[in-house]
Amino acid sequence: MSRKTWLITGASSGLGKALAEHVLAHGDQVVATASSTKATTELAARYPETALAVKLDVTDAEDRVAAVRATEERFGGIDILVNNAAIDFVGALEEQEESDYRRLFEVNFFGAVELTRQVLPQMRARRTGTIVNISSMDGLASLPANGFYSSSKFALEGFTEALWQEIEPLGLRAMIIQPGSFRTGIENRTKVSGEAIDDYAATAGAFRAMMGSLTPEMFPGDPERAAEAIFQAVGAPEPAHWVVLGSDAQRRIGVKLEQLSAEFEAGRELAFSTDFPGAAENAVL
């Protein structure tokens, strides 16, 4: 069986690192990318034949071009792109600094979009390839204090949903991974943005206050088990479009879907009341 080549962003820590290690242990090839190559170089040294560490700031156009070129030169092409790189800032929407939430979107959304657009031509030429976009339970169920992070993941999910409808007829695939809280050290990397506003003390402020007391034991998810689940999902004969990981994600997304369904059904009469009479029969979609 031929080896697959994976390019994984944000592979120096967290789920990205766990996935890179899992893929390599199962014999595939990995280009492990991160803005700093210290951790990825150590990983590549353990798998000199099948791993390559490449510096990649996903917001830098030259870095993106260089990373894809290095992959093609070393392994011949990319079979699976995993857009995993992400950052987070905590604070109420009114509190957070514009420079922070714009940076967040550049990494979480636009970096993934541009890297995807860059690899699609060679995937289309070969009529094979998979795009894996790492979202979050926050990408479907938003919370106070995390609104901009959630917004970036909502955007990534909308992009991915349109993407798979465009590329599946060409033999390509795309999927969204929606992890819950995993023991990846994310509590040490998440930053607070802006000055606290007293009026938000009971909502976003409560989340801010909790940040200092988080411990790994509060996160139920095992990164190694998540890596195995992603690996299996990518290799499935009929891959899912949405892959939920973690008991907390299953619960939170389930509650959101129930709320959405209830309000959707309650609004049915109102929705139909706004059409021209008989116009629904000629609707485009």
Q: How far is CA 165 from CA 112, 175, 243, in A?
A: 18, 11, 17
- pTM comes to 0.94
Phi, psi of 183 (to 5 degrees): -80, 75
**Tens of pLDDT, residues 57-111:** 999 999 999 999 999 999 999 999 999 999 999 999 999 999 999 999 999 999 9
Q: How many residues does the chain have?
A: 285
Per-residue model confidence as pLDDT tens digits over 111-169: 999 999 999 999 999 999 999 999 999 999 999 999 999 999 999 999 999 999 999 99
pLDDT digits (tens, 9 = 90+) for 210-248: 877 767 677 788 999 999 999 999 999 998 999 999 999
Q: Tell me the C-alpha distance between 273 and 260, whole Å.
A: 20
Residue 153 among the catalytic residues:
yes
Q: What is the structure's pLDDT at 185?
A: 67
Contact 29, 1 (CB under 8 A): no
Which is catalytic among the residues 47, 101, 149, 200?
A: 149
Q: What is the pLDDT of residue 1?
A: 55
- The residue annotated as part of the active site, out of 4, 47, 101, 135, is 135
Per residue in 23-65, pLDDT (tens digit) is 999 999 999 999 988 889 999 999 999 999 999 999 999 999 9
**Are 91 and 15 a contacting pair, CB within 8 Å?**
no
d(CA 238, CA 241): 10
b/e burial code for range 186-210 (CB count within 10 A of at least 16 → b): bbeeeebbbeeeeebeeebbebbee
pLDDT of residue 57: 96
> Is 17 in the active site?
no
User: Exactly one of 12, 13, 136, 181 is catalytic; which is it?
Assistant: 12
- In this structure, are residues 164 and 207 in contact, taking their beta carbons and an 8 Å threshold? no
Instruction: Verify whether residue 200 is a known catalytic residue.
Output: no
Which entry of 153, 181, 193, 200 is annotated as an active-site residue?
A: 153
The 3-state DSSP class for residue 239 equals: coil
What's the DSSP call for residue 284? -
Judge whether 151 counts as a catalytic residue. no
Alpha-carbon distance of 107 to 194, in angstroms, equals 19
Residue 15 has pLDDT above 80, yes or no: yes
Dihedral sign (CA 247, 260, 161, 87) = negative
Which two three-digit tokens encode residue 157? Answer: 């999910």
